[in-house]
Structure 1
Amino acid sequence: MLIVGEDFGMRVSVLASSSSGNATYIETPGHKVLVDAGLSGKKIETLMQSIGRDLTDVDSVFITHEHSDHVRGVGVLARRYPKLSVYANAKTFAALPKSVGKIPEDQLRLFDMGATLTLGDLDVESFGVSHDAAAPQFYQFHHDGKTFTILTDTGYVSDRVAGTIRDADAYVMECNHDLEMLRTGPYPWPLKQRILGDQGHLSNEDGADALMDVIGLRTKRIYLGHLSPHNNNKPLAHLTVASLLAQQGLAVDHDFRIYDTDPAVADPLFVV
C-alpha cells in the first residue's frame, strides 16, 4: 500500500507492447495514468493486477492515435470507471473506430498536439509523429526532474522529434520489424510498403539510429516496443539494437540497459 504523499519517484510498467496491443502504466505519488488501452478491458485489468495495481486507482488515459491496437479497450474502461479522464487531440477523438463504443462526454479531455499538461506532480508533454493516422501524438512524462518517453508508431524520427525527446531517463522505442523478415514474409506488398514508408513503422535499425541520436548521460533504460509478431522477434531486435549502439561506442549494459517488452506479459514496475 502506497502512503499518500510519499515521493517514491515516477514508476512505470510497460503492460503490453506489440502490433496486437499496447498499454503502459505510469504512477507518481499524485497520479496513476495509462498511455493507450489497446487490449480488452479484461486483459488490461489482469495485467494491472499482475504488477500489484488496480484500475480503480487510474485517473487518466492518454491516447496516442486511433488504431485499434492502441484504443481497443478505451471505451470499455471509460464506461466501467467513470472517474477516468480520456485525453487525446480533437482529430483523434473524431477518428476513433465505432468498435470503441461511446465514451461519456464528461470524461473526454482535449489535449492539443505540442501542448504540455500539468496534472499536479506530473507534467505530460505531447509531440506529433509521422504515422498514417488522423493526428498521431506521443508523450513524455516529467516528474521531479525525471523524464520517461514513449515513441512508437512512426515512419521516421524527425530532427524536431529527436530534439524534443533527447536525453530522457527512460524510453520505449519502436522496433517494429526486421527488414529482411518483412521483405520475405507473408504480408501483401501494399502492406509492406505501408510499414516501410514515412508514415509506417520503425525497423530495428531505425530504432537504433533514433536512439543513437537521443541517448544522453541521463538515459538508463531503453525498452524495445511494438514488435511485430510476424516480422520480428525479441532476441533479434535486442541483438540488432545492442550491436548497433555498441558499434557507435555507446556503453550498452554499463551506462544504460536494454529491455524487451511483451504482447501479453507486463514488465515489472521500475523507478525512472
Structure 2
Amino acid sequence: MNSRELQFSVLASGSTGNAVYVQAGDTKILIDAGIGIRQLQASCSEIGVDLTTLDAVLVTHEHSDHVRGLASLLRKVSVPIYTSQGTWSKIASFWREEEQVMARMVRANVAFSLGELVLEPFSLSHDAEEPLGFCVYGNGRKFVLATDLGYASDHVKALAYGADVYVLEANHDVELLRAGPYPWHLKRRILGDKGHLSNDSASDFLRDVLTDDARSVFLAHLSQENNRPELAHRTVQKAIADLPVVANGGLELNLTYPDRPTPLLKVSEANRISQFKIKSQ
C-alpha cells in the first residue's frame, strides 16, 4: 500500500450537516464541520481516524450545516482554520474573546500547500459571504469538492476538469421542489443562481468535466425534502451513461448520507466500492 496515497471520506452530507476528511501521507485535513462533535468523532472513529491528529480545518462558508460543530471541534483540537476573509468575518463571533483561534485567510484561485496536499480554492455562486469550493491535489491525484453552488460557471468547470474523484452537489429534483411544502421565497432561493444545484444541473456539470481519468462521483448535499437518493442516482446515471468513462465501466456513481460516512477510500480505487452504489433500473 502506498502510504502517500490521496484518501478521503465523506463523513456526512446533506442539509443537516456536512464534513469531508482528506488525507495524503501524514497530512490530514477536515473540510467543514457541520455536524455535532459526537457525530464527528463517531464518524472518524468508524473510518479509523483520530480527530486529534488533524493538521487543519478548511471551511467552505459560514452556513450552519457547514460550521455547526466547528467551535466544539476547535476547543478539542488546536489546529488552524483556513477559510476566506468573508467567511471568517461571519464565523469569528462563534468564539469568546479569550479563546484563541488560528485563522488563516485563503483566496479563490490562489493555490496553497498543506504538508503533502496542494489546495486550490475556487469561488462558488451561493448566498454566503465568500464561499469556496476546493480542488485538492496529492500524490498525482485530484479530488474536487463542489457543493452549495447555485450554478457552475465556466471558470469552475475549467478548474474542476479532469479530476479523479468528485464530491458534487445534487441537491434537489426541480419538480419535487416546486410541488413541495417550502414557501415560495425559499423555493426561489434554492432554484436561483445563488442557491443549489439540481440533479439535472449536476448532470450537466459532469458532462462538461468528466474525463477518462475519473474514478468516482459522490452525489452530495441531497435535500431530504426535495430529493430522493434513488432519484438523484437514476437521473445522473442516465444523463452521463453515454460518456466513454461511464460506458467503459471506469466510473462509479455513489451516494453520500447525512448520518453515516463513506469508507475511507484511496482515490485510485474509488471505483471499486459497489456497496455504496445504487444500481440503476
Q: TM-score normalized by structure 2?
A: 0.91
Match runs of 1:1-272 below 5 Å: 7-82=3-78, 84-96=79-91, 98=93, 100-102=94-96, 104-247=99-242, 251=246, 254-272=249-267
* Corresponding letter in the other structure for 1:163: A
**Shift in Å, 1:110:** 1.2
C-alpha contact (below 8 Å) 2:62/2:90 kept by paired residues: yes
C-alpha contact (below 8 Å) 1:75/1:102 kept by paired residues: no
Counterparts in 2 of 1:252 and 1:190: CA distance versus 1, 3 Å: farther
Counterparts in 2 of 1:180 and 1:90: CA distance versus 1, 3 Å: same
Counterparts in 2 of 1:117 and 1:90: CA distance versus 1, 3 Å: same
Cα distance in 2 for residues equivalent to 1:130 and 1:101: 27
SS for the counterpart of 1:155 is: coil
Counterparts in 2 of 1:133 and 1:252: CA distance versus 1, 3 Å: farther
Cα distance in 2 for residues equivalent to 1:45 and 1:108: 22
SS for the counterpart of 2:241 is: helix
**Shift in Å, 1:251:** 2.0
C-alpha contact (below 8 Å) 1:78/1:107 kept by paired residues: no
* Corresponding letter in the other structure for 2:12: A
* Corresponding letter in the other structure for 2:172: H
Q: Which moved more, 1:138-147 or 1:88-97?
A: 88-97
Cα distance in 1 for residues equivalent to 2:118 and 2:244: 33
Cα distance in 2 for residues equivalent to 1:10 and 1:37: 20
Cα distance in 1 for residues equivalent to 2:201 and 2:7: 27
Q: Cα RMSD over matched residues?
A: 1.7
**Shift in Å, 1:120:** 2.2
* Corresponding letter in the other structure for 1:52: G
Query: In the alignment, what sits opposite 2:276?
Result: none
Number of residue pairs matched?
Answer: 266
Cα distance in 2 for residues equivalent to 1:185 and 1:8: 46
C-alpha contact (below 8 Å) 2:212/2:244 kept by paired residues: no
Structure 1 gaps, min length 5: none
* Corresponding letter in the other structure for 2:52: T
C-alpha contact (below 8 Å) 1:252/1:258 kept by paired residues: no
Cα distance in 1 for residues equivalent to 2:247 and 2:53: 36
Structure 2 gaps, min length 5: 268-281
Cα distance in 2 for residues equivalent to 1:253 and 1:57: 39
Q: TM-score normalized by structure 1?
A: 0.94
Counterparts in 2 of 1:107 and 1:188: CA distance versus 1, 3 Å: same
Cα distance in 1 for residues equivalent to 2:96 and 2:19: 20
* Corresponding letter in the other structure for 2:145: I
**CA shift digits 1:144-196 (9 cap, x unpaired):** 11000000000100001100110000000100001111000000000000000
* Corresponding letter in the other structure for 1:206: S
